[in-house]
Amino acid sequence: MDTMLGTRLRTQQSNSQNGRETSLWTSGLGMKLEAVTPFLGKYRPFVGRCCQTCTPKSWESLFHRSIMDLGFCNVILVKEENTRFRGWLVRRLCYFLWSLEQHVPPCWDASQKVMESTGVQDVIAGRAPGGAGEGQVPSPVKKEVQRILGHIQAPPRPFLLRLFSWVVLRFLNCLFLNVQLHKGHLKMVHKASQTQGSPLVLLSTHKSLVDGILLPFVLLSQGLGVVRVAWDPCSCSPVLRALLRKLGALFLPPEANLSLDSSEGVLARAVVQAVVEQLLVSREPLLIFLEELPGTQGPWLSALGQAWLGLVVQAVQMGVVQDAMLVPVAVTYDLAPDVCDTHHATAPLGLWTGALAVLRSLRGWCCGPQVCARVHLAQPFSLQEYTTNSRSCWGSRQTMEQLLQPIVLGQSTVVPDTEKEQEWTPITGPLLALKEEDQLLVRRLSRHTLNASVASSAVMSTAIMATLLLFKHQKLLGEFSWLTEETLLRGFDVGFSGQLRCLVRHTLSLLRAHVALLRIHQGDLLVITRPGPGLMHLARLSAQLLPAFLNEALGACAVRALLASKVPPEGPWELQGIELLGQNELYRQVLLLLHLLPQDMLLLQPCQSSYCFCQEVLDRLIQCGLLVAEETPGSRQACDTGRRRLRAKLLWKPSGDFTDSDSDNFEEAEGRYFRLSQQSRCPDFFLFLCRLLNPLLKAFAQAATFLHQGRLPDTVSGYVEQLFQFLQATAQEDGFFECADPSLAIKAVWTFRDLGVLQQTPSPAGPMLHLSPTFASQDNQEKLEQFIQQFICS
């Protein structure tokens, strides 16, 4: 079945009456679209504010409105003016001279301080023989500590750092057109570091292997010092690890993941904790990646990143340092340099393998248009303040099986007003050594910080173009500008600006491997997406747009589910607009969808209650014009505030008591109803929002269909492979390649395991999956599929 998408890029001819070019494109709103600006109004909106609920003092003190007026700088643009020298020779050697002038703070050998730390001394005292004198360290134990310390870090070499900066600067200039950094964000981080006197801990997303090189280079060049990067030891060969350690890298020793009763594991964790304490005391910046690389066959949140973050939290709680400033960081690319290779990478990256990969990437990227990158530094916040305030937001939690299974099977209609407990990221040794309460704190903190990082990330032009191509928009120029404006209206930044025609042409050239451009008559351009892997790659790019429209997408799918039980889904928009939608019914559908989708994908703020999120979703639907309030006969009008009677209960609640005050509003919302707006643009916008979640929801629905075909019992990886092959075969039939993704197959299997559809039991070959007796019947499998299908808009 031919599923190629044909999309016309229409242009207007020159105006023959005045003899000058007036080639302008107009959207459905009639706006001139000759240029695209990255802001609405006069000033660029500031993104990346910290949470006002969890860190109100940081929100107020670590921000000044004057930083919004500062512009961007290209950190890889080095000229003669960036050095102390002038002349024609300087212009040719400016990269090298600039690297020599970089300030590298002195790095001391911390081995003796680590040996003398309290945690290491306590472990040594427990392992020392009875004849050892007080304060003396046995030679075998000392050698073991030095071996573990050598695996973790090495003293950075200033000469190597400067030489490496010069090499990285040359490499980045060949790879990227520019690397933008907002000077206001940088000033804010400098101010937090200087005024608070606390060490900086940068918590970053992870979109490419280049992040581990790009971010330390950017921060060193901007005066933040040598950043110690926590690398994954499994991703590097021993030779590459030795080189990276001399450049400031940190590696978790394998003994740290041993069991809690292992003496080797206890000593390794004590040494790692002492290293982190010395870094914080010396105020050296620490960079931790909270995400796994794209394409990793496993959880999205990094277990290694949570382990390093747990060590920082433990050091602050023990009073080693008074506080630490956490800085959410994100890096966005037009196209991530190695995103295609990570899906097939299985072996650790070696020194020569990495060099060959760099040469291949340079050869491929230099032949075509260069991509742009953007580094985002969100507002810093106090770890001590977050730890104190966040515990008050913890409520009761239930498993996904307890929340959804009775509703799926029709045994109950009431959605419990509680949070979902869903943890896919395994707990490693250093985090397992903490108390259960501190483990929960670290997991919630990592989600909270990633939410801030994603919210501060700019939406790139490739994400917008991929979304338009997937959703078969017919007028690329007008819709590109419209979608850019909608993104800005939701408080998200965009990573591009310029003439609309040039932007679209440049974006299509970046996607040339996944689309075909055909010139037809009268200056039109036909854009055809390539089926198969090309559509899957466009789907991954379009997923970057989901955080900006997440609330509206969840609300649109909830409205779709509510209408599915009242009117035929294929009915006209006018017929669907007749139906009244109750506010409580909308809340219920949003909660059901919220509990069904993975937490790692939604990445909601842990401090926000479910009711507050439902209210926010409803507000967004009203603000964007999809829903209009409807006054029901016999009810008091919404604008009638003069006949309110005094109630027996107080009209106010304590400011911190969100749960009680929120639950009271459910009773007040029973008489509130809404209808779908009948504006001409609403049907297309409603369909656009629903399609943002279609790949994941369709993967879930096809996984429900696959239950009676799958061969069980099987290992988790084996059943994921079975489901992925089924998704590929189904995509060949119906042409919907967006859901034929290994990561979606993993999410579907893990979600069904949490829902109680699949049961996991241990075995010598690994965890085995069995079909639950409850869903062994065909009737219950059909109920599960119908429950998922109600949210899908075809």
Give how many domains the chain has, as a whole number.
3
CA distances from 320 to 153, 277, 307, 345, 431 (A): 20, 7, 18, 40, 18
* 212/367: higher pLDDT: 212
Identify residue 480 by its one-letter amino acid code: F
pLDDT in tens, 656-673: 444 444 444 444 555 688
DSSP for 693-735, please give it: SHHHHHHHHHHHHGGGTS--SEEHHHHHHHHHHHHHHHHHHH-
**Which of 59, 29, 33, 30 is CA-nearest to residue 46?**
59
Tokens found for residue 189: 């981080």
Mean pLDDT of 392-400: 80
Pair (363, 277) in one structural domain: yes
CB 292 within 8 A of CB 304: no
Q: Are residues 104 and 193 in the same domain?
A: yes
pLDDT value of residue 639: 46
Q: How far apart are CA 35 and CA 578, in angstroms?
A: 40
Same domain flag for 375 and 475: no
Greater pLDDT, 363 or 132: 363
| Cis geometry, peptide bond prior to residue 569 (ω within 30 degrees of 0) | no
Residue 492 lies in a domain: yes
* Dihedral of alpha carbons 390, 392, 398, 400, sign: negative
- Condensed to tens digits (0 to 9), the pLDDT of residues 631-659 reads 665 555 544 444 444 343 433 433 344 44
| 86 contacts: CB under 8 Å, gap ≥ 6 | 80
- CATH number where 783 lies: 1.10.10
| Position 604 in a domain | no
Residue 479 and residue 378 share a domain: no
Q: Which residues of 542-563 are buried (b: 16+ CB within 10 A; e: fewer)?
A: bbbbbbbbbbbbbbbbbbbbbb
Residue 309 in domain: yes
Using the 3D structure, point to which of 541, 572, 594 is the last residue of a domain: 541
Q: Is residue 750 part of a domain?
A: yes
> Cβ distance 793 to 787 under 8 Å?
no
Burial of 21 (0-12, 13-18, 19+ CB in 10 A): exposed
Give domain status of residue 230, yes or no: yes
383 and 495 fall within a common domain: no
pLDDT per position as a tens digit, 305-360: 999 999 999 999 999 999 999 999 999 999 888 644 443 445 666 666 666 666 66
* 720 within some domain: yes
pLDDT at residue 26, as a whole number: 34
**Averaged confidence pLDDT in the chain:** 82
pTM for the model stands at 0.87
Highest mean pLDDT of the ranges 99-103, 229-233, 347-351? 229-233
Residues 463 and 364 in one domain: no
How much is the average pLDDT of 721-735? 91
Tens-place pLDDT, residues 467-496: 999 887 667 888 888 899 899 989 898 988
What kind and span of H or E run contains 277?
Answer: helix 263-281
Same domain, 381 and 469: no
Is the pLDDT reported for residue 133 higher than 70? no
- Residue at 656: amino acid letter: G
Domain boundary pick from 523, 541, 559:
541
- Quote the domain boundaries for residue 704: 681-790
Instruction: Choose one of 541, 562, 590: the last residue of a domain.
Output: 541
CATH of the domain at 503: 3.30.420
**Residues 236 and 369 both lie in one domain:** yes
Task: Note whether residue 568 is domain-resident.
Answer: no
pLDDT over 90 at 433, yes or no: no
Q: Which is nearest to 365 in space by CA: 501, 513, 496, 499?
A: 513
Q: Which residues pair with 349 in a beta bridge?
A: 236
Could you tell me if 373 and 464 lie in one domain? no
Query: What band does 560 get if pLDDT is binned at 50, 70 and 90?
Result: very high
DSSP 41-88: SSSPPP--PPPTTT-HHHHHHT--GGGGG--EEETT---GGGSS--SH
More confident residue, 214 or 136: 214
Residue 381 domain flag: yes
